[in-house]
Amino acid sequence: MRLGNRFFFAAAAVLAVTYFAAWFILRLDATGVTVASAVLGGTLLLLWPAARLVARKTDRELGEAREAVDRIASGDLRPPPGASGAKSVGSLGQAIDRMAGEMRDRVKVSERESGDLRVLFDRLDDGLAFIDREGLVSLCNPAFERWAGRDVTPGARVGTLFRSPGIAEAVSAAQRGESTTAEVELGEHTVLMSTRPHRSGAIIVLHDLTVLRRLEGVRRDFVANVSHELKTPLTSVVGFAEALVEGGIDADQAGGFARRILFNATRMRYLVDDLLDLSLLESGSWSPEPATVSVGAIAREAWDTLSPKARADDLKLRVSGTGEPAWADPDAVRQVMRNLLDNAARYSDEDPAISVRVAADGRFQRVEVSDRGPGIASAHVERVFERFYRVDPARSRARGGTGLGLAIVKHFVEAHGGEIGIESALGQGTTVWFTLPDAARRPDGKSVDVPA
């Protein structure tokens, strides 16, 4: 029963009893009045304990409702111990319990969303920090601490965290309501810094541009190198062609000019072919189609394609080592061997011996292509696999090299899960080595003998 209903019926009962008692007493004589008064007084005395009991129960229920409200106000939204509802102060207690349950559900949703946002905040690759009106860090993520190079505690002054004065100036501008975007240097990194006004402070975001700027530099160098590599033979072709068109030269000179045109046109064709191969490999569009192959047999086959040059320079190839097959793409291995043997032939004027050695350990086959040429200085060894890098540019161009062969070889080998390296010293020749999976590691576990 609701509290208001209880008080209403109690008051009505008291009024009714009083009314009928007064009406009855007025119609009695003196003795009757005395008796009626005694009866009425006794009745009131009997009603007094019941009234006290109702008052205590009501006070206790109001106290429970007050305690429930105090718990909610203090943040304790757990259900109250024991039963609630009908034993509370009626619908008031039920309403309080309902309100607490709804608030508890909303707080759980809010805590879950807050946790998700915190995880996202902490895992951002970009550095992010909130700066208050005093220029102090109020909150930051781990990426911001990495850029600062230290643990950043709340209250740290942003101007003391970075040596670049541009960051502190941008924060000050954001505190005045101005947004700023600029590139700053933090150590060896190029960083895009963005600041925005936030309340009376600022938000600062640091985004790493180092890789992007490096790639832009590589692209500029690549375009410049390609332009140069194409311009040189193209200029030669145009010059000799103009001489042939103008006439006035004998047959021997015309034949020489035609051979020079053919040589430079072939060089441009090789360059375009290598560029297409390199583009295909670097884009990830190519993947090897492995089969059982004999590296030694492919080395001899590749050498035969160089045979005119090999015979002219009196070069000799010696293949040794295991005859066990490797598990690799035959066309890729063929191009790798052709490029490496072509390089070895180009630098083997002093000693015509070129060797290919194949060794296997059951997991990989290590292939070594060695020459006894002039060797490579240590300053150049680490860069020979870069695009268009040449140890001797004049000699390489004279022999028709594109400067892309070793870069292509490196991509082919790594696509098979292998490794590649070079060992060289001035006056002691050069050995380029690479590894390929052994046929024993093929997916179906079979191994096929391939004639050497």
Q: How confident is the model at residue 451 (pLDDT cuts 50, 70, 90)?
A: very low
For the chain, what's the residue count? 452
Round to whole Å and give the CA distance between 395 and 388. Answer: 14
66 pLDDT above the threshold of 80: no
Using CA atoms of 426, 429, 435, 439 in order, give the dihedral in degrees to the nearest 10. Answer: -170
Q: In the prediction, which pLDDT does 85 show?
A: 44
Q: In the prediction, which pLDDT does 179 show?
A: 92
Q: What is the mean pLDDT of residues 16-43?
A: 58
Helix axes 295-305, 330-346, angle to 10 degrees: 50
- Residue 139: strand pairing partners: 130
> How many CB atoms neighbour CB 252 within 10 A?
8
Give yes or no for a contact between 361 and 441, defined as CB atoms under 8 angstroms apart: no
450 pLDDT above the threshold of 50: no
Q: Does domain 124-208 match CATH 3.30.1360.120?
A: no
> How many CB atoms neighbour CB 280 within 10 A?
13
Q: How confident is the model at residue 103 (pLDDT cuts 50, 70, 90)?
A: confident
Q: How confident is the model at residue 418 (pLDDT cuts 50, 70, 90)?
A: very high
48 pLDDT above the threshold of 70: no
Q: Of 228, 302, 234, 266, nearest to 400 (Cα)?
A: 266
452 pLDDT above the threshold of 90: no
Q: Do domains 124-208 and 288-441 have the same CATH topology?
A: no
User: Which residue is listed with tokens 């089969």?
Assistant: 291
Q: What is the mean pLDDT of residues 395-402?
A: 56
For 278, the token pair is 């390199």
> How many CB atoms neighbour CB 24 within 10 A?
14
DSSP state of 438: B
Round to whole Å and give the CA distance between 229 and 174. Answer: 50
* Topology annotation, domain 288-441: Heat Shock Protein 90 (3.30.565)
Q: Of 84, 138, 79, nearest to 103 (Cα)?
A: 79
Q: Of 394, 409, 414, 302, nearest to 354 (Cα)?
A: 302
Q: What is the mean pLDDT of residues 36-50?
A: 61
Q: 195 in helix, strand or coil? A: strand
For 388, the token pair is 């268009």
For 386, the token pair is 């870069």
The class level of CATH for 212-281 reads mainly alpha
Q: In the prediction, which pLDDT does 82 show?
A: 53
Q: How confident is the model at residue 398 (pLDDT cuts 50, 70, 90)?
A: low
Task: List the single range of 236-250, 280-294, 309-323, 332-346 with lowest mean pLDDT.
Answer: 309-323
Higher pLDDT, 164 or 202: 202
Round to whole Å and give the CA distance between 316 and 247. Answer: 43
Burial classification of residue 3, based on how many CB atoms lie within 10 Å of its CB (0-12 exposed, 13-18 middle, 19 or more buried): middle
Q: In the prediction, which pLDDT does 368 show?
A: 94
Higher pLDDT, 227 or 137: 137
Q: In the prediction, which pLDDT does 38 show?
A: 61
Q: What is the mean pLDDT of residues 66-84?
A: 63
Q: 82 in helix, strand or coil? A: coil
Phi, then psi, of 125 in degrees rounded to 5: -75, -25
DSSP state of 87: T
> How many CB atoms neighbour CB 358 within 10 A?
21
Q: What is the mean pLDDT of residues 403-427?
A: 88
Domain range summary for the chain, segments of one domain joined by +:
3-107, 124-208, 212-281, 288-441
Percentage with pLDDT > 90 across the chain = 19
DSSP state of 199: T
15 pLDDT above the threshold of 70: no
Q: In the prediction, which pLDDT does 309 show?
A: 53
Q: How do residues 116-133 score in pLDDT, each as one tens digit?
A: 777 887 888 899 999 998
String of DSSP letters for 126-190: SEEEEE-TTSBEEEE-HHHHHHHTS---TT-BGGGT-S-HHHHHHHHHHHTT--EEEEEEETTEE
Sheet holding 201-208, edge to edge: 137-140, 127-131, 201-208, 189-198, 180-186
User: Which residue is listed with tokens 């429930």?
Assistant: 68
Q: What is the mean pLDDT of residues 266-290?
A: 84
Q: Of 391, 310, 394, 322, nearest to 356 (Cα)?
A: 322
